[in-house]
Amino acid sequence: MTEYKMELEPTLISNITFSDGVIREMGTNKLTLIGTFHQFTVPRFPFQTPPFFVTVCLANLRGKLDGFKMAIRIEDKSSGLVVGSNGGDIGTIAELKPTEVVQIPLQMAVIFPSAGLYSVVVLAQSDVVGSRDLVVNSVTNVQTLPNS
């Protein structure tokens, strides 16, 4: 058995997930996230992303939601420049308990002006409730296959 010395302490990130698609099952309300990812690696800049989803999970909500404002902002961490955002109002039919988790997928399309570190910021009722990093890399060494 090998022992590993931890140089960094792992941390659990907030549940902010990126995916190519989302399906919500009728009846159970379960989400299926299709093609999850954690970064973009792109050939050139500026880069227009295809539509993708940012799914967030919120808890500690109470009562029936009606016109509850949600927004997602993607910012360049070095400058604070907002490169994309989306939002809307959500509502619930039933009363929510603080222990219930609400899953909210929002579709995004962003133009990244350059490679770098971006922050995905989640707002609820105009207050920041969480964020996570999103790395955007440049393809520096594209390997091509020889013609057969």
Per-residue confidence at 140, pLDDT binned at 50, 70, 90? Answer: confident
**pTM for this one?**
0.83
Q: Is the dihedral of CA 117, 121, 89, 94 positive or negative?
A: positive
In a domain, residue 6? The reply is: no
* Mean pLDDT over the full length of the chain: 89
**Residue 98 located in a structural domain:** yes
Count of domains in the chain? 1
- Residue 38 lies in domain: 16-138
- pLDDT higher than 70, residue 2: no
Looking at residue 102, which CATH number applies to its domain? Answer: 2.60.40.1930
pLDDT at 144: 53
